[in-house]
Amino acid sequence: MFDILDLSLKINGFPLEKAKEYFNKIIAIPENEFEDFTNQKREEIVSYHLSNNAFYQNLAKNKIDDFTIEKWNNLPVLTKTDFQKPLSERLSFGYNIKNVYINRTSGSSGDPFDFAKDKFCHALVWSSIYHRFGWYDLDLNKAYQARFYGYPLEFLNKYKVKLKDFLSNRYRFPIFDLSDKSLKDFVATFELKKFHYINGYTSSIVMLAKYLEKENIVLKTICPTLKVCIVTSEMLFEEDKILLERQLGVPVVNEYGASELDIIAFQNVHDEWLINNENLFIEILDDQNNPLPFGQEGNIVVTALFNKAHPFIRYKIGDVGVIEKKSSKKIILKKLTGRTNDFAFLPSGKKAPGMTFYSITKTVMEEDGNLKEFVITQTEKNTFEIEYVSEIPLSEERILYFEKKLTDYLEEGLTYVFIRKEKLERSKSGKLKQFKSLVNQNL
């Protein structure tokens, strides 16, 4: 088999060999020199955009002359709303829509936008992916992927995705239908095809694992070529990881990334969530954009060190987490709390993290083994809608028990509306947003 992924990237003008060589040089930088390398790249990318990008010059208000790393904290912290203008107005001099890689953020957290990467930067992103997947003995040119992502329904776009899947050596499962009938078909496909790894949205793969558990099937026994499962884009809870590893029969790896950037953190074989500090620089800031020390929870802010086409400098991506420094080359993502807009704002003024709220709900509701999946929406400060899919409706006794547990965690006087569904609505990309609040925190 020829290297179809390498070939497709090269045909599209991405200098993959040059990027791989450069990425390997970064990997080889000695421990005692790595911080100087990072500082140099931070200084270079900021100076480049201050000189070559009118959009960034305007954001920085032309107040930073002769930039040096000592002035780093004077730089603006960017958010998704800063990018709500035509892409052509955000590109650096010398770049246009014909000589860059262009894509669009999913919009699952609001404020979707088009973004660009110069071709060397995009090739470096792929070099990072090749490197990390290699930790699990996966050669992306040869490893066959079982892909659990959404796909566009429009005819032309759908077949563009099919072509992209072919060139990327992957088979895409239709995750918009996760009924037992569809899941049975999924399992039959695993019996027929020699998949090497699973990659996709956590919630969809968890649904597959629950079906496997019900049918008393371990996936690797019917698909012995399977090596690993890589989940992304949605929160992975420890109890779900245990279920996945038991029913899939392979290690489960947590990936955290953003399409406009790169892989941000990837779990290594020692179960550590390693930060990608080859291509990115990660900070944790408080709500006033002040830097926080390692070990403290705050807003995750990312700088793309090599994207000359489009500035992602001190970009607050909307997630909250904790990082820990083991050494200058080894930074660990210790905790990923969720998105900054995923909080429940309660009548008392209490602010409850949505994903923690979801976790407690999940624990309580799954005790009887009846529940398949659910989402929670805060519709008013005192009202939560819980949509769920289950074998049988929740009993009144079960609902009362559940409400008591939530009251213990949250506060008295809240209303819960339970709505049983045949299936849950997913976004166009196929993601399942487990918690959302429709409440304006300023009300």
Which pLDDT does position 274 carry in this prediction? 95
> What would the two tokens of residue 339 be?
């998105």
**Residue 80 pLDDT grade (very low, low, confident, very high; cuts 50, 70, 90):** confident
**Residue 122 pLDDT grade (very low, low, confident, very high; cuts 50, 70, 90):** very high
Which pLDDT does position 338 carry in this prediction? 64
User: Does residue 434 or residue 125 have the better pLDDT?
Assistant: 125
> Which pLDDT tens digit goes with each residue over 232-288?
877 788 888 999 999 999 999 999 988 899 999 999 999 899 999 999 999 999 999
Query: Which of 425, 339, 332, 438 minimizes the C-alpha distance to 79?
Result: 339
Question: What is the maximum alpha-carbon separation in the chain?
Answer: 68
Average pLDDT estimate for 322-334: 93
For the chain, the average pLDDT equals 87
User: Does residue 358 or residue 43 have the better pLDDT?
Assistant: 43
Which pLDDT does position 436 carry in this prediction? 80
Query: Which of 257, 288, 252, 248 minimizes the C-alpha distance to 269?
Result: 252
Which pLDDT does position 443 carry in this prediction? 46
Which pLDDT does position 405 carry in this prediction? 82
Which pLDDT does position 359 carry in this prediction? 63
Which pLDDT does position 62 carry in this prediction? 60
Of 95-99, 260-264, 266-270, 341-345, which gets the smallest average pLDDT?
341-345
**Residue 431 pLDDT grade (very low, low, confident, very high; cuts 50, 70, 90):** low
pLDDT of 433 above 80? no
Those residues whose C-beta lies under 8 Å from the C-beta of residue 256, and which sit 6 or more positions away, are 232, 263, 264, 265, 266, 273, 333, 336
Q: Which domains does the chain have, with CATH numbers?
A: 4-339 (3.40.50.12780), 343-437 (3.30.300.30)
> Which pLDDT tens digit goes with each residue over 177-222?
778 888 999 999 999 999 999 999 888 898 899 999 999 999 999 9
Which pLDDT does position 369 carry in this prediction? 67
On whether the CB atoms of residues 343 and 437 are closer than 8 A, the answer is: yes
pLDDT of 139 above 70? yes
Starting at the earlier edge strand, list the strands of the sheet with 315-325: 170-172, 145-148, 197-201, 228-232, 252-258, 262-267, 273-275, 331-339, 315-325, 298-304, 280-285
CB atoms within 10 A of CB 416: 16
pLDDT of 111 above 70? no
> Which pLDDT tens digit goes with each residue over 384-414?
999 888 888 888 888 888 888 888 878 889 9
pTM, entire model: 0.80
Rounded CA-CA distance 267/242 in Å is: 15
pLDDT of 316 above 90? yes
**Residue 113 pLDDT grade (very low, low, confident, very high; cuts 50, 70, 90):** confident
Which pLDDT does position 430 carry in this prediction? 60
